Structures are given as C-alpha cells and as structure tokens.
Structure 1
C-alpha cells in the first residue's frame, strides 16, 4: 500500500491522538506566531517613532575640557565653518549651532525679571539691564521649539538665510512690557557695554515657565531670554572681534535624515573635523524616543519570553506524544518490515502524518492568531503605557535654583514634552512571519518524529514484534 494512503488511514483511525497532536501543534503555532507578530508590530511602531522625532546628534562641550583663564573658566569653541562642513554631510537633513553672551537693554527698554527696587538689575545676576542672548543658526531646531514647549506666536523663525542679519526672537512678556511687535527695532549693547546695534524683532514666542523661575542653563528669567542670529550677535562680542574675526560657536545640533545614520554621521564627522572636535562630544539625543518606546520594549520582552516558554513546553509535549505513538505502533512497523517495506518509507509515513497536522495547525493559527494577538497585545501595551504615563505625570521638578540632588530628584528622569508613551500597535500578518512559523513548526515536528522513530527502526523486525507483544 502507498505510504501516503497509509498515513491518511492512520490519522483517521487514531482520531483521538490526531486531535491531541493537532492541539499541541496549534498551541505552538499560535504562541510562536503571536510572539513574532508582537515583535514585528512593536518594531514598526518604534521605527515610526524614531522617524517622527528624528535622530538628533548634539555637539556639546566636554565639561572636563574647560580651561582656567584670567577671566575664569573658559569653555572651548569650534569654528562655525567646521560646523557648516559637518552640516553638509549626506546624513544631515538640517543643522544649527549656537553661541551665547550677555546683552544689555538701554534707554526705555526694561527687563521683565527685575528686582523689587525697580533699579533695572536682573534678579539673577546678569547686571544692570543684562540678559542672556543666544545666537542660533536655525531657531526652529532648538529643543524647546521642536518639542512644542515654546510656541512661536507671531513672526518667523530665524534661519540660515538670516545668519548675518540683525534679527531676534523675544519672549511675549518682554514684548508686552516694552510694547514691541514683529518688525520693531530693539537696540542691544554688548558685554563690553560699548558696542551697540539695532536688531529687528523677527518673532515673538511663548515660554510657559514663570518669570521667577531662573532659566537653568543661563540663570536669567525665562521672560528675558533673547534668541538672535549668530552673525548679528557676534558683532556685539569682543571675543569674535565684533563680527570681523571668524565665527566660533560653543555647540551645534544636527538633525539626521534617518535614525539609522547615527553611526555613519559620527564616523564621518570625526574623520572630517579631526582634532577640532577635541573638547567636544557627539551625543545622540534619543530621550524622547526612549520615553515613547519604553512600553513597546517592555511588551516585546514579555512576548518573547512567553513565546519561548510556551513553544518549548509545546514542543516537549509534542515529542512525548509522538514518542508514545511510535512505541504503540511497533507491531505495525514489525509487520510492514517483515513484508519487505523499507525503513525510510516508514519514517516518511510518520513524518508525513506530522507535516499534515502541522500544516493544519499553521492554517488555523494564521486565521485566528492576528486577531487574538491584536487584542492581547493592545491590552498589555495599554497597561504598560498607562503606568509609564503615570510615572511621567508624577515627576516633580526640583525647587527653582536647585539642581535637585539634595531633594533626591534625578533630572535625567525629567519628562520630554509632546513625547507621550506609545499606547497603540497594529498587528499585521505578512508572508515572512508565516514562513518563519511554518519552518519552526515543521522543524519541531520532524525532530520530534525522527528521534523516537530512529530508535525503534534500529531494531530488527523480529525484535520489534517480540517487544510489541
């Protein structure tokens, strides 16, 4: 009799065992497929998050590289031309750099964060009429604008086209106090208190922080912060020769075309700039991405562990069922071998029976696993995202003027705005996932069949019949 026909008759004659084996295969297929589908769905969601946020690489000063000078600590600076060359690398979509110094308001123009005496002294130590002025190449790439923390209320951002123009962005409270609007002229005096230039108000933005809370990096009231063009503000800076010497900046930010270009960009930057990067570090700003994808990584690890545990347990049960079935069929094998049937065809018959059941289990799992995985994965992700959101909402900033170390506050845990944890995934069954599950299921089935069958078929027909009795 053809061994294919024998396999079909055997499956029908032993319907109880067939259903039990099919159930074991179905559990393996569903669990493995669910794990693969969750891994694939979370990977797609993570890639989407990385692309939506963008990969940002910051060129920041290494705090250990500051040097002591007669005027105090001096941080290293880098030529703007070098940063422009780095910004021209193929991995970079947009870039900006910055420099900062003290700027003074004169005449009728007053700061918002003044002392109670009304003397015009900045409450945070910048001196009479002094505030922090930050020169930028592209203000839209500043972290606070990119995250949505700052809002541009009127006017336009500073861009590379404005590099050598005298243009500034001012906070709405400073604009309101001095009755300034977009297009008005604002005179600024440099840190030497001698050099003065008129700047055009290019835009008015909103900083949600209270005026009494000092800006942590520059120590002035947030309402008094100025953002200007690098070329315009360098004209007020004696260190840059009042705009006549080559422009040198204290940091830069590069927005890459793709999050996967980080390594290539860093390699190209170090090769291009060489020793000019001494005193600086290239750091990837992926905090927003990590905050958004934390729940995804959690359920991915949970799904992977569950997949392996259930898969291994199902494989063990399957191997036990096949081993018992082969031992029960030793008399059948002995008769067939005594009649001249080849051992290879007997093994092929047993393997065919397993392959048929595996194919059925795979088909059923392909129909039900996506819906079950979507429901279970979404429920699990929802709980993880809610817990992550609760942790972010419960974070408390340290008191104004404090680093938070004395209060046990870790600034590294400070939430990134507009980067809520992802709470939704979309499960999608592709041919690649189905093929992977099919290969794994068939491999487990063949392995479970080959080991007990080979042990039995090493015996002679007479020994099989004797032991079978």
Structure 2
C-alpha cells in the first residue's frame, strides 16, 4: 500500500508542479513575447499615441514618426550607380525615423538589423537629442558613439545637434541602380519622437499643415484575448472609423500555446491519477476487509461501534499516506526540474521556419516544490484514504456480528 501511495502522490505532485511551472512560464511569455497590435490613422499625434500606450493591458508600446532631414557638417551617402545626382524633391538626404522604443521595431527585434556598438532608442530618451546611425554613414564620416553631429530640418530653418548613442548595421545592400539618397539604407537613422517632430516640416510645435505625425503605433499586449477589449478602447479614443487595427499573434501562438497545452495536460493527469488512485486503493482496502472479517466480527460481538471500525481502517490508510507524501515531496525536489525542462522545454528543440526574435527567447521553466503543492497532494491523499475506506466499509454497516462470524466460519 505504501508503494502504491508513493506512486500516486508522486504523480499528483508532478502534475501540480508542472501546472505551476507552465503558469509561470506562460506569464513570463506573455510579458516578453505578447501580441503586437499595430494601429494606423491619418493625423495620429504623439499625444494620442501616448494615450494608447497607457491603456489597460498594454505592456509596452512604440510610436513611429518618419521625417526627412538634411545634413550639416557631415556628408550623407550617395548612390554609386550612374544617374541624375541632382534629382530629388529637396527635402533632405536623410531618412529620420522618430521612435519611442527601437527594440520593438521588427528589424531589431528579429535580429536582421543589429547594433554594432552602443544602444538603441529607449523611452528614457524622450526630450533628448540622440541618434542611432547606420554603420556605413558612421564609417563615411568617422562617427562613433559619443560623437555629436548636426541635422538640418527639411525646410532648412532649424538645425539640431545630436549625440550618437548607437550604431547599427542594416543587412540591405546598396542598390545597383541610382537611388535617391534618402532611400539608401546607409542614410537611415533613428531618433526619439520629439526630435523627429522638431525636424519635421511646419511649425516647431507640430501644429502646421506639414507637421510630422505618427505613422503607426505598435502596442504589446499579453494575449490575443485582450485584443477585442483594446479595439473597443481604441474606438473610444480615435472614433469608430478611420483607423487600421491589425493583430500579429504568430509568435504568441508558436511559443505560448504549447505551454498552455502542457498545463492542460498536467491538470488532466491530476484528475485521472486521483480517480484511479481512489479506485485502486478502494479495491485493496476491500480485499483487506474481506481478509479481516473474523476480526471485525469479534470486535462487533464485543460491542464495538461499526463506524469506529471504518474509522480505524481510514486512520490506518492515512498513516500510510502521509509518509508517501513526504517521500513524493523529496522525489519532486530532486527530479522535478529535469522533468519540467523535458516537457516544457521540448518545443524549443524543434526547428522553426521563421527567425525567432531575440527578445522572445524564454528562460527555462522553473520547477520548485512549494508548500501549497505538497498541501494539495496531502489533501487529495487523505481524501483518497477516506473514499477508499468508507465505500468498501458500507458492507460492514449492513452486516451483523453473527452473520460475519458465520460467513467467516
């Protein structure tokens, strides 16, 4: 009976540990991977973008403000292919991308564009004139992290000094045909949203007809289930018409749904083991009662209460269950981590067809034996003890001492 109880308690504890580990890993995955929601609308301002980013359920957000600018005191890259070098619209040779969080941009998050030195643009850079420039532009002008250069607004009325905080490498090759300077990958740079607004056409406060506006806002939420609520709140801010709302949950489905399936499987294990354990132990107790019928008959003949006899069996089984719980807790603390990694970490070993974002890499599952888990196993074990003794003991309640002794004889 002790061996059977040990197997049952170990499997029960394993199910609870796996459920808890899956829940922790799922919560971590929702924070790091999440679901990206992209919102686009004409005339979207940074103030509205900040209000969208402050909506409940949004873990992280980024606003994008693309503008054109010119160079002052340094030389932008030029197309090496033959063409009309004088052609262009005169708005500047630099493509300036105002962002709040460059780490949320797909080229950076998926690793196709990598930082070679320094760091990217972060929310803490708001109000600062800093820039992340492309490696080719940095090499052409001998710029490095910490250097300062000046950028002229597209209308030529203002110049803004910027400090280089990072250098990135765009994998795109130089075009083989003549290309306007602002479309060259080397002339791309990233700055905070406020800096992009100052460089945009129109007045300095961003209220003129040509003022720089937000082209897109990307919001990171925990799960696809929150997208409907977010859409409703977006309608309250932007109106029901005139905005584009797109949900990208591919990474979430690829990595979070397998974790949820493991958690569901663990919950099923707990129920199956509990029911099977009660059935098996009930049969064992029933056999023991049949073997001890003469003992029961003598005790009943001496005036012992029937419910006390059933209680005696329940206490005996419970006395075996408690050591089994302790041994199961010891086994769980020794082997739980490796078992959790084998089940929850299995999907990471599978090849993927698309590149995985570096910031979506999940830490190995943490499996630890908590007192609450041991308490639940002990409670179920005691419940199994009670069920497995009371149900077979119903037959005792229906017999008389003379019947038991006569049948035994």
With normalisation by structure 2, the TM-score equals 0.76
- 1:291/1:420 contact within 8 Å kept: no
- Within the alignment, does 1:369 sit opposite 2:332 as a pair? yes
Q: Over residues 173-225 of structure 1, what are the superposed CA-to-partner deviations in whole Å (9 max), with x where a residue is unaligned?
A: 12323455531223453xxxx656534343242135232599xxxx9554332
- 1:236/1:243 contact within 8 Å kept: no
Deviation at 1:297, TM superposition (A): 4.5
- 1:291/1:421 contact within 8 Å kept: no
- Within the alignment, does 1:32 sit opposite 2:12 as a pair? yes
- 2:35/2:249 contact within 8 Å kept: yes
Q: Distance in 2 between matches of 1:24 and 1:178?
A: 76
**SS in structure 1 of the partner of residue 295 of structure 2:** helix
CA spacing shift, 1:416–1:155, aligned 2, 3 Å: closer
- Structure 2: gaps (5+ residues): 177-181
Question: Which of 70, 73, 98 is the equivalent residue of 2:64?
Answer: 98
- Structure 1: gaps (5+ residues): 1-20, 62-74, 396-412
Deviation at 1:358, TM superposition (A): 1.1
Q: Over residues 317-362 of structure 1, what are the superposed CA-to-partner deviations in whole Å (9 max), with x where a residue is unaligned?
A: 2121112222333333233223322111111111111111111211
Deviation at 1:133, TM superposition (A): 3.2
- Within the alignment, does 1:42 sit opposite 2:3 as a pair? no
Q: Distance in 2 between matches of 1:78 and 1:295?
A: 37
- 1:102/1:132 contact within 8 Å kept: yes
Q: Distance in 1 between matches of 2:336 and 2:119?
A: 49
The equivalent of 1:336 in structure 2 is 299
Between the two structures, name the one with larger relative contact order (CA 8 Å, sep ≥ 6).
2
Q: Distance in 1 between matches of 2:343 and 2:218?
A: 37
Deviation at 1:376, TM superposition (A): 2.9
- 1:110/1:129 contact within 8 Å kept: no
Deviation at 1:27, TM superposition (A): 0.9
Q: Distance in 2 between matches of 1:448 and 1:419?
A: 48
**SS in structure 1 of the partner of residue 148 of structure 2:** coil
Deviation at 1:172, TM superposition (A): 1.5
- 2:131/2:190 contact within 8 Å kept: yes
Deviation at 1:33, TM superposition (A): 0.7
Q: Distance in 2 between matches of 1:467 and 1:277?
A: 85
The equivalent of 1:252 in structure 2 is 217
Q: Over residues 239-276 of structure 1, what are the superposed CA-to-partner deviations in whole Å (9 max), with x where a residue is unaligned?
A: 889933376423334578x99xx799949955962627
CA spacing shift, 1:231–1:340, aligned 2, 3 Å: closer
The equivalent of 1:223 in structure 2 is 186
Q: How does 1:128-277 map to 2 (within 5 A)?
A: 132-139=95-102, 142=105, 144-145=107-108, 149-151=113-115, 153-154=117-118, 157=121, 163=127, 168-180=131-143, 182-187=147-152, 189=154, 197-203=158-164, 204-212=166-174, 220-234=183-197, 237=200, 243-245=206-208, 248-253=213-218, 266=230, 269-270=233-234, 273=237, 275=239
Q: Distance in 1 between matches of 2:103 and 2:29?
A: 20
Name the Cα RMSD after superposition: 4.5
- 1:98/1:135 contact within 8 Å kept: yes
Q: How does 1:349-364 map to 2 (within 5 A)?
A: 349-364=312-327
